[in-house]
Amino acid sequence: MVMLDDATPENGCMQMVRGSHKLGLLDHDEDGLFHGNCQESYLWQDEGRVANITPKTGGISIHHALTLHGSPANISGKPRRGVVFQYRADDAYQLAQSLWADTGLLMCGQRRELARCDAGVLRLPKSHFFPGYPFGDAWNQDGELARKRDYFAE
């Protein structure tokens, strides 16, 4: 994330739970449906493990995708804006939920049409955002803009 404004505790800076990425995939289901909130809320109770992320304007924040993170309410009356960039390997497929319009833009290399999986079995979370699509619309891995390949051709 590249900050367009200073991030402060008063304007709802991002907070992260130190070391939470080592816990693996956490439960985001409620009543059998995916919700954005992690259900292991007790992990936030140890204030010594919760870090305020406070980059200044132009500063950046980088974190692992499995890091437990969130932002409290902005009580300052001032904005806290930023631009988010996300990168993943071609073989790291999203298994459920919705894709952003620009998901699937190939930055370099070539598509190998392989999916990487850790050993084991995971239950896909059911989506409450997409009735009729029980696991979301993530199956093709290309968002609306990324499907328009000619748009990005040089």
* Listed range (10-19, 28-37, 80-89) with the worst mean pLDDT: 28-37
pLDDT band at 4 (very low <50, low <70, confident <90, very high): very high
pLDDT computed for residue 11 by the predictor: 95
CATH architecture of the domain formed by 1-85: Sandwich (2.60)
Cβ pair 34, 26 in contact under 8 A:
no
What tokens were used for 107? 């930055």
Query: pLDDT of 55-71, one tens digit each?
Result: 999 999 999 888 989 89
- pLDDT tens profile 67-105: 989 899 999 999 999 998 877 777 776 666 666 666 777
CATH 2.60.120.620 in the chain, residue ranges: 1-85
The DSSP H or E segment spanning 144 is helix 144-147
Three-state DSSP string of 75-144: CCCCCCCEECCCCCCCCCCCCCECCCCCCCCCCCCCCCCCCCCCCCCCCCCECCCCCCCCCECCCCCCCH
Q: Is the distance from CB of 83 to CB of 5 less than 8 angstroms?
A: no
